[in-house]
């Protein structure tokens, strides 16, 4: 039995089963939100739920009330990891949806694979037009610039500072590279996406 701090400020001594019962709605909501956004095949809810319940168990095991963090906050990040685990495994399979690439597919027959840049990108694009936009971005981003594209698409997960540290350059130099790529991609999007989607 552990002391669990709830978001309403109550601190309760709960067994894992009691904790599971209390936070099962949070797991179900996470599954629904994830599956509602996919343009690819949905993830089986039973399999998805099992993965997230494993993360719930890990959260329960690792949680320490003494740090003053609400359990729901601690669990949130564990569930994000569970979602990542489930979606990664799904995308390593060949996608059979009308022309959508597998993440193991080479882009423009080069060394760059979609999987090389997708781990920090939200896969749950809202529609096929968004998928087309991603395809255009990938095809027009040189392999050496894929990290810069990650920053453009998901700065919260891969920041300019992290990019600069990885490439051992100053933050200013990193910003210049990212701005250069962004301008290039804006032009590409204007010519290859916006003009064809009017």
**Domain containing residue 73: CATH number:** 1.10.1740
Are residue 86 and residue 124 in the same domain, yes or no? no
Within-domain flag for 18: yes
> Which residues touch 81 (CB under 8 Å, ≥6 apart)?
55
108 domain residue, yes or no? no
Based on the number of CB atoms within 10 Å of its own CB, is 105 exposed (0-12), middle (13-18) or buried (19 or more)?
A: middle
Q: 100 lies in a domain?
A: no
pLDDT of residue 97: 42
Global pTM value: 0.46
pLDDT one-digit tens code per residue, 5-59 = 998 889 999 999 999 999 999 999 988 887 776 544 567 788 888 989 999 999 9
Between the CA of residue 85 and those of 95, 166, 182, 198, what are the distances in Å? Answer: 17, 24, 30, 37
Task: Mark whether 121 and 81 lie in a shared domain.
Answer: no
Residues 58 and 122 in one domain: no
> 107-161, pLDDT tens digit by residue?
544 555 544 544 444 444 344 445 566 777 878 888 888 888 888 877 767 788 8
Copy the structure tokens of residue 45: 């809810």
Structural domains of the chain, count: 2
């Amino acid at each position: 039995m552990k002391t669990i701090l709830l978001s309403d400020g109550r601190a309760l001594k709960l067994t894992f089963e009691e904790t599971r019962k209390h936070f099962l709605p949070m797991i179900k909501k996470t599954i629904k939100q994830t599956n509602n956004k996919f343009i690819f095949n949905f993830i089986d809810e039973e399999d998805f739920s099992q993965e997230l319940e494993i993360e719930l168990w890990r959260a329960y095991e690792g949680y320490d009330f003494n740090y003053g963090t609400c359990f729901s906050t601690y669990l949130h990040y564990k569930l994000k990891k569970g979602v990542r685990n489930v979606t990664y495994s799904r995308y390593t399979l060949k996608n059979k949806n009308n022309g959508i690439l597998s993440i193991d597919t080479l882009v423009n027959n080069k060394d760059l694979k979609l999987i090389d840049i997708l781990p920090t990108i939200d896969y749950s694009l809202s529609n096929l037009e968004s998928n087309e936009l991603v395809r255009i971005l990938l095809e027009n981003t040189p392999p050496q610039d894929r990290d810069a594209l990650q920053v453009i698409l998901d700065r919260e997960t891969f920041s300019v500072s992290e990019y600069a540290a990885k490439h051992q350059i100053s933050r200013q130099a990193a910003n210049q590279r990212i701005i250069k790529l962004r301008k290039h991609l804006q032009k590409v999007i204007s010519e290859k996406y916006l003009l064809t989607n009017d």
